[in-house]
Amino acid sequence: MSRNLHPVPDAEQPLQGGMLWLAAIVLAAANFIAVLDMTIANVSVPNIAGSLGISSSQGTWVITSYAVAEAIIVPLTGWIAGRFGAVRVFATAMLLFGACSALCGVSNSLGMLVLGRVLQGLSGGSLMPLSQTLLLRIFPKDKAPAAMALWAMTTLVAPILGPILGGWLCDSFSWPLIFFINVPIAMLVAPIAWRMLKRYESPLLRAPIDTVGLVLLIIFVGALQLMLDLGKEHDWFASTEICLLAIVAAVGFVAFLIWEFTEKHPIVDLRVFRHRGFTAGVITISLGFGAMFAANVLTPLWLQSYMGYTSTWAGLTTAWSGVLAVFCAPIAGKLIAKVDPRKLIFAGLLLLAGVMVMRTVATTDMTYWQIAIPLILMGLGLPFFFVPLTALTLGSVEEHETAAGAGLQNFMRTLSGAFATSMVTTMWEDRTSALHAEMVGMMDPMGETANKLAASGFTGDQVRSVMDNMLQGQSVMLATNQIMWLVAAAFVLSAVVIWIAPKPSRSVDMTQAGH
């Protein structure tokens, strides 16, 4: 790649017509596969766990490792782009994303796969905000809304297609293909993007990097995530290892706060938390997104492990939650200017809470549509939660703080999804074990079921196995319903928190929000 970053010469004209839209499609494709990889592994966890000989809770590391790495890189993207050039960083990140995807695909152990996913998240996390930044740079102002509509559509559609595509690839071929499909796209998009967009490269900025802040961020986030992921296997705080991780996370967090509040060029500008509206918005999105992510991760695990669904059908079922969201997002965007965004957010979150309450009465003999209908209804609430919340949160900070606020909001959103995944899978397994132990003495007290099975020709061992499977299925179902109550409570709490925020004092150009 050329290192000439001087102002664009007159001879090199801006892109126009078909070439402009080709560049837009290339940028949207990069955003698409980065967002796709946040959900494509959700329905693949049982396949990956079975292939690598690990538990389902260990398999969720495939999801959390990507999310944590992405969360860490988001606040750094602006500095990296200024230091090396947005176009150069975008093209390089695209190549690295393809290479790391290949590493994930050839992994033959959990450690190797998690390493690949961390590296994939570090490269993919830069693609999302940079694809939006470059779209706004190449399009004239009068066409910017159309460009952002294309970008927003990939952001909405990718999470829907992720579970479907992941399920189909796992059932029809094998799980490594969910990563290998990124490779040809990345190898094609990176050189095309560089060739078409290098004329839009900006001069380099020699801004200082907050190295200490970055190290403290990685330490406390990494230690906290490891504690959550490993806690169940090591009996939580009965383990010296978990206690040490908790201490490192706590000390690292306090040190990070102190450093960032006193550093002249902080990696994460925590000063924006002085705005009450921003603080309330970030707490709301952390609670709400964490609750949503917990439900989205648990649903395919439950369907595949205990309801007899294949990966494909689990993906087709969970994808319903995004269908109505695509159609409702433009409506939510238009209503922001006419209705107090706090009312929209409150209504959206209460609707999501209501859907989760519907899911607390699930049974093991539910039909496909009995499971799918609540997921379809989720799509009505999601846009009225996300779209106005971004406007309210960023509308609460001063104009020059918009970029810092957007980065911090996205950091907290992504991090909450990773933490929620670890916590919900651990709670699910713990509650299942506890309920199994509670109900074992109540199952078939008169021995009628056992006698019927024995009379049908089952041996003693077979009778015990069949009855244990029945008990396990009911234990899992009850544990799932109990967790849905907790998810509903988290949505209600986030709906209440949003009223702490004052009504936004200014409107926000949504193109500044980033991903």
Per-residue confidence band for 22, with pLDDT thresholds at 50, 70 and 90: confident
Q: How many CB atoms lie within 10 A of CB 334?
A: 11
**The pLDDT of residue 498:** 93
Same-domain pairing of 302 and 397: yes
Q: Using the predicted structure, report yes or no on whether residue 515 has a pLDDT greater than 50.
A: no
Domain end position, chosen among 250, 266, 282: 266
Task: Over range 435-448, report the average pLDDT.
Answer: 70
Q: Do 125 and 190 fall into the same domain? A: yes
Q: Evaluate if residue 285 carries a pLDDT over 80.
A: yes
pLDDT in tens, 109-135: 888 999 999 999 998 888 888 887 788
Last residue of a domain, one of 208, 231, 248: 208
Most confident of the following: 229-238, 263-272, 281-290: 281-290
Does residue 419 have a pLDDT over 90?
no
* 91 and 25 housed in the same domain: yes
CB 134 within 8 A of CB 151: no
- What mean pLDDT, rounded, does the chain reach? 82
Whether 407 and 508 share a structural domain: yes
Single-letter amino acid code for the residue at 23? A
What percent of the chain shows pLDDT beyond 70?
A: 88
pLDDT tens profile 211-222? 898 899 889 888
Helices within 202-239 (DSSP H only): 211-230
pLDDT of 10 reads: 40
Average pLDDT over residues 71-81: 80
Number of domains comprising the chain? 3
**Above 90 in pLDDT, residue 351?**
yes
At 6 the pLDDT is 44
pLDDT beyond 70 at 2: no
**Lowest-pLDDT range of 80-84, 180-184, 362-366:** 80-84
Burial track 260-275 (b if 16+ CB lie within 10 A, e otherwise): beebeebbbbbebeeb
Residues 104 and 62 in one domain: yes
pLDDT tens, residue by residue, 368-397: 999 999 999 988 888 888 778 877 887 788
pLDDT tens digit sequence for 137-194: 777 777 766 676 677 677 767 777 788 888 888 888 888 999 999 999 999 989 988 8
187-212: b (≥16 Cβ within 10 Å) or e: eebbebbbebbbebbeeeeeeeebee
Q: Work out the number of other CB atoms within 10 angstroms of the CB of residue 479.
A: 22
- Residue written as tokens 């994808």? 319
Are 335 and 484 in a shared domain? Answer: yes
CA atoms of 372 and 357, how far apart (whole Å): 14
Residues 383, 384, 388, 389, CA torsion sign? negative
Residue 463's identity, in one-letter code, is V
pLDDT average, residue stretch 191-208: 81
Residue ending a domain, among 233, 266, 299, is: 266
When mean pLDDT is compared across 114-123, 228-237, 261-270, 288-297, the lowest value belongs to 228-237
Check if the beta carbon of residue 199 is closer than 8 Å to that of residue 86.
no
The DSSP 8-state label assigned to residue 307 in this structure reads: S
Lowest mean pLDDT among 24-38, 319-333, 460-474: 460-474
pLDDT tier for residue 508 given thresholds of 50, 70 and 90 = low
Higher pLDDT, 84 or 17: 84
- Residue 513 pLDDT: 44
Give the pLDDT mean for 310-316.
Answer: 84
Token pair for 278: 């921003």
Task: Examine the domain organization and report whether 221 and 182 are in the same domain.
Answer: no
- Closest Cα to residue 183, out of 121, 99, 104, 107? 99
Residue 8: per-residue pLDDT: 45
Across the range 17-42, mean pLDDT stands at 81
Residue 477 CA: distances (Å) to CA of 124, 130, 298, 319, 424: 35, 42, 12, 21, 14
Residues 262 and 306 in one domain: no
pLDDT at 148: 66
Cβ neighbour number for residue 177 with a 10 Å cutoff:
16
pLDDT at 103: 94
Say if CB 73 and CB 89 are below 8 A apart.
Answer: no
Torsion of CA 68, 123, 126, 299, to 10 degrees: -40
Residues 284 and 430 in one domain: yes
pTM over cut 0.85: no
Sorting pLDDT into bands at 50, 70 and 90, what band is 305? confident
pLDDT, residue 445, reads: 61
Q: Rounded to an integer, what distance in angstroms lies between the CA atom of residue 481 and that of residue 306?
A: 14
Residue type, 307: M
- Examine the domain organization and report whether 328 and 403 are in the same domain: yes
- Under the banding of pLDDT at 50, 70 and 90, the label for residue 248 is very high
For residues 490-505, give the mean pLDDT: 89
CB 420 within 8 A of CB 294: yes
Residues 201 and 249 in one domain: no
Please give the Cα distance from 163 to 375 (Å, whole number): 14
- Residue 5's pLDDT band, with cuts at 50, 70 and 90, is very low
Question: What would the mean pLDDT of 56-63 be, rounded to a whole number?
Answer: 78
pLDDT of residue 96: 94
As a whole number of angstroms, the distance between CA 509 and CA 38 comes to 26
The first and second tokens of residue 21, run together, are 């839209």
Over 60: is that where the pLDDT of 359 sits? yes
Average pLDDT value for residue range 406-418: 79
Is the pLDDT confidence value at 9 over 80? no
**Cα 405–Cα 411–Cα 412 angle in degrees, nearest 5:** 95
Report how far residue 145's alpha carbon sits from residue 482's, in angstroms, rounded to the nearest whole number: 43
Do 381 and 515 lie in one domain? The reply is: yes
Q: Please report the pLDDT score of residue 144 as a whole number.
A: 66
Q: Are 283 and 415 in contact (CB under 8 A)?
A: no
Q: What is the structure's pLDDT at 116?
A: 92
Cα 222 to the center of its chain, rounded Å: 17
Question: Could you read off the pLDDT of 448-482 as tens digits, one per residue?
Answer: 666 666 666 667 677 677 677 777 878 888 999 99
The domain that contains 45 carries what CATH number? 1.20.1250.20
Containing structural domain, residue 66: 1-208
